[in-house]
Amino acid sequence: MFENIFMGFEHVLTWYNMAMIFAGTALGILVGALPGLSSPMAMIVLLPLTYSFSGLPALLMMMGAYVGTKLGGSYSAILLRTPGTPAAACTVLDGHPMVLQGKAAQALGYATVGSALGGLMGWLAASLCIPVIAGIAVKSGPADIALIGLAGLVMVSSFVRGSMLKGLIGMLLGLLLSTVGLDPQDTTPRMTFGMEELFGGIDFSAALVGFFGIAVVLSDLHRIEEGATRIREKVGLALPPVRELCRRWRAIAIGAFYGLFVGAVPGVGAEGSTWLAYATVRKNSKNPESFGTGNPDGILAPESSNNAVTGGTMLPMLTLGLPGDGSTAIMLGALLLHGMTPGITLIKESPEMVYGLLAGLGVAHVFMFLLGTLAIRPYIALLQNDRAWIFPFVLIMAMVGCFAGTNNPFPVLLAVLFGILGHLMELRDFPIPTVVLGVILGPIIEVNLRLALSLSNDDWWVFADTWPRKIILALILYIISKEIFLELKRMRLQSQNNPTVTP
């Protein structure tokens, strides 16, 4: 087992391959930091570039980009309140409040350390348990995936700040948007208004760019003058002291655990894991109220989680040829282009590729940490300029990202529409992330739920017929009943404290 891992490093530790990983990681951080452009986009840009390389260097470069975007996304999430990638959306919650308190350097430090440690933990676990976890993941049926998605939705609605009702409304709006397009089973057009462009459903990049990018720019437009000072100051990076990290190891470990686990289940993706990790850390915290106001644990958990996902997705990708997210789907395509057949035979036919990629994942995280700590300035320079300069740039790059996914101008129009809608919702204190989460998880839940029912001949007991399913189901019911109970208690307390004045 260990000789295989060493063999992987042997293939990777050449100047040429290291340079490829370094270039990929550097580009990844940049692309990740620019809102709207995320890792599938970086990798599609790299795909034609890598034709001239041989297989391993090409995929190592993509691996670097995959890892780099996970950190880069948090830069813009923290500094601009606009997540650079969907997986960084959760980092906004506590990252941006820290900036408002003048602790931008510390926030970036926590993000960098959290990403690196989480990623390395994920990598280590992936290297050690490729056979074990892959065996579990391949057995997870559509019912399991539907339940995991549902658990994610319930958890997010239970921890939104402010009104839970508004959180639920936002989430349901997201779910509603996700039903637009052809019905996944009998291909009836749903809410397409006869428009061909809507048949394929609402492009996810349009929702992300609209609700997070454009809506944020719109909301901040009238604050340009008052807010410019806080972003003008020089932002560096302050690594958190080791003692502080030791105290907060739990957030990193929980994040890495969820990242690895969710990454290994194909189809859920990094976004879900960050919210799950955040919710868990918050619920186990001694003072959950401090979350959302700049608690470093609220940065460490999602950042550790979204980097650990890279280790998790390697399990089904390298052992079964199953993509865990968009980026790994492109990597699998690149494997094919370079003459390898992804699937269970890959590890036998080209072990140097499988273990080389695993080694590359570890090296990429080291590079990411070095780039993050030593060369953060040029990256931040892009985001740190006067906001009036940045916003057109954000808008243009977001639109490009929106366009480049499909090479079609329609998602750009949708994004503008969502931007206006998101802005109006934000003005009325609706939590925007819940909308986007609904859009992301909606199709995953719907497709798997209906598939599970098709397979079981419409028998709903399929969702409770194995122990893992019973446990997830119990978890969902527990969260819902607890929320209702807490709400009732709060209402009773309120009515006791402010007895209604009777005439």
Partner 1 sequence: MRFAKYCLFAIVVLLPLLCFSAAKADYPAETIHIIVPWPAGGGTDNIARAFAASLEAATGASVVVDNVVGAGGVTGTLQAAKAKPDGYTLLLQGSSDISTVMVFQKTPFTLDDFDFLCAFYSTPTWVVAHKDRGYTDLKSFLEAADKNPGKLTMASATPAGAQLLMAAAIHGYTNGKFRIVPYQGGGPFRKGMLSNEVDAGVVHSPIMLPEVKEGIIRVLGTGAPLGKINYDPLRKTKTLNEMGIPFEVGITRGILLPRNTPHEVRAKLLEASKKAASSPAFAEFGAKFGFSPVWMEGQDFRKLLDNEVRTFKEIKEKFVDTQKR
* Bridge partners, residue 189, by sequence: 182
With CB under 8 A as the contact rule, the residue among 405, 431, 433, 438 that binds partner 1 is: 405
Report d(CA 205, CA 472) in Å as an integer.
Answer: 29
Q: Point out which span in 79-87, 164-172, 284-292, 447-455 binds partner 1 (CB under 8 A).
A: 447-455
Tokens of 267: 């189809």
Out of 54, 187, 284, 495, point to the residue binding partner 1 (CB under 8 A): 187
Least gap, CB of 457 to partner 1 (angstroms) = 7
Please give the Cα distance from 401 to 326 (Å, whole number): 14
Q: Does 347 bind partner 1 (CB under 8 A)?
A: no
For residues 193 to 222, the per-residue mask of contacts with partner 1, x marking binding by CB under 8 A and - elsewhere, is ---xxxxx--x-------------------
Residue 47: both structure tokens together: 């795909």
CA quadruple 434, 438, 439, 442: dihedral, nearest 10: 170
Strand partners, 190: 181
Instruction: Kindly state the smallest distance separating residue 148's Cβ from partner 1, in Å.
Output: 14
First and final CA of the chain: distance in angstroms? 79
Nearer to partner 1, 238 or 337 (CB): 337
The answer to whether 389 contacts partner 1 (rule: CB under 8 A) is yes
1, 2, 15, 186: residue in contact with partner 1 (rule CB under 8 A): 186
- Indicate which single residue of 44, 172, 400, 413 sits in contact with partner 1 (rule: CB under 8 A): 44
Question: Least distance from C-beta 355 to partner 1, angstroms?
Answer: 19
Rounded distance between C-alpha atoms, residue 91 and residue 74, angstroms = 6
Taking CB under 8 A as the rule, does residue 408 contact partner 1? yes
**Whole-Å CA distances, 334 to 210, 309, 324, 493:** 30, 20, 15, 59
Give whichever of 292 and 321 is closer to partner 1, judged by the CB atom: 321
* Cα(419)–Cα(206) distance, integer angstroms: 9
319-322: long-range pairs with CB below 8 Å, 24+ = 319/130, 319/131, 319/134, 319/344, 319/346, 319/347, 320/134, 320/137, 320/138, 320/344, 321/346, 322/137, 322/138, 322/266
Q: How far is the CB of 116 from partner 1 (least distance, A)?
A: 28
Which residue's CB is nearer to partner 1, number 267 or number 302?
A: 267
Q: Which is nearer to partner 1, 116 or 143 (CB)?
A: 143
DSSP 16: H
For partner 1, which residue of 285, 373, 385, 466 counts as binding (CB under 8 A)? 385
Residue 425 has a CB neighbour count (10 Å cut-off) of 21
The one among 238, 329, 400, 475 contacting partner 1 by CB under 8 A: 329
127 versus 140: smaller Cβ distance to partner 1: 140
Q: Tell me which stretch binds partner 1 (CB under 8 A): 100-108, 220-228, 294-302, 446-454.
A: 446-454
Looking at residue 85, what DSSP letter applies? S
Shortest Cβ distance from residue 28 to partner 1 (Å)? 17
Size of the site for partner 1 (CB under 8 A): 57
Determine if 19 is a binding residue for partner 1 (CB under 8 A): no
What are the helix (H) ranges across 285-409? 297-320, 326-337, 346-349, 351-374, 376-384, 387-404
194 vs 499, beta carbon nearer partner 1: 194
**CA separation for the pair 412, 397 (Å, rounded):** 11
H or E segment and range at residue 190: strand 189-190
- Is 179 an interacting residue with respect to partner 1 (CB under 8 A)? no
Residue 285 in contact with partner 1, rule: CB under 8 A = no
Q: Among positive and negative, which fits the CA dihedral 135, 259, 245, 63?
A: positive
Q: Which residues bind partner 1 (CB under 8 A)?
A: 44, 47-48, 51, 138-142, 182-187, 196-200, 203, 266-267, 320-323, 329-330, 332-334, 336-337, 339-346, 381-382, 385, 389, 393, 405-408, 410, 447, 451, 454-455, 457
